[in-house]
Amino acid sequence: MENEKIVENEYGDGSPDPVQQYRAIINAYKEYLKQLSHILRKTTLGDLVNNPEKLNEYEQIIIDVIANIELLGRSPPGWNFKKSEVIQNLENAQVELGKAQYFLTYRESNPVASAESLKHIHPCRSHLDLAASKMVLRKSRT
């Protein structure tokens, strides 16, 4: 996010183009979600058992993205961003990660529960991928 490029509006008065700025922010968060999904795609049961705290980190990333999307405000006039659908999918991903964390807490007493935690990674990824696919700023139909 630190490398955001300021794009001037079509009037050339030096002020940023709100559509380009909004789109740049959305695309940055979209990339974060794609990266997280890619990390989860490679996650194995051994990864979960050996580093259960990683799930907390991943959940925090999702929480941060949700909070930042909520702070975006309205899309520029004449444009549409399905913020509520994106947030709903991110919240669903967060729920799946929570389920995975829950089952990992029982890994000492019940090794089968650890395997159950891995079953929640795929639905989490699916929700992340769906959220990322919805992160598009489209021209409103008039």
DSSP conformation letters of 15-42: -B-HHHHHHHHHHHHHHHHHHHHHHHHT
Bridge partners, 80 (sequence order): 138
Which pLDDT score is estimated for 4?
46
Which pLDDT score is estimated for 110?
76
Residue 2 lies in a domain: no
Backbone angles phi, psi at 59, to 5 degrees: -65, -40
Residue 5 lies in a domain: no
Domain count, the chain: 1
Residue 122 lies in a domain: yes
Range of the domain at 46: 18-137
Sign for the pseudo-dihedral over CA of 6, 7, 13, 17: negative
Which pLDDT score is estimated for 2?
44
Residue 60 lies in a domain: yes
Residue 13 lies in a domain: no
CB atoms < 10 A from the CB of 70, how many?
A: 11
pTM of the model: 0.83
* Residue 113 contacts residue 99 (beta carbons within 8 Å): no
Please give the single-letter amino acid code of residue 79.
W
Residue 71 lies in a domain: yes
Residue 142 lies in a domain: no
Helices (H), 5-108: 18-41, 45-50, 53-71, 83-104
Backbone angles phi, psi at 74, to 5 degrees: -70, 150
Which pLDDT score is estimated for 5?
47
Q: What pLDDT tens digit does each residue of the chain (142 aa) get?
A: 444 444 444 555 566 788 999 999 999 999 999 999 999 999 888 888 888 889 999 999 999 999 999 998 888 889 999 999 999 999 999 999 999 988 888 776 777 777 888 899 999 999 999 999 999 999 888 6
* Residue 49 contacts residue 104 (beta carbons within 8 Å): yes
Residue 37 lies in a domain: yes
* Residue 30 contacts residue 135 (beta carbons within 8 Å): yes
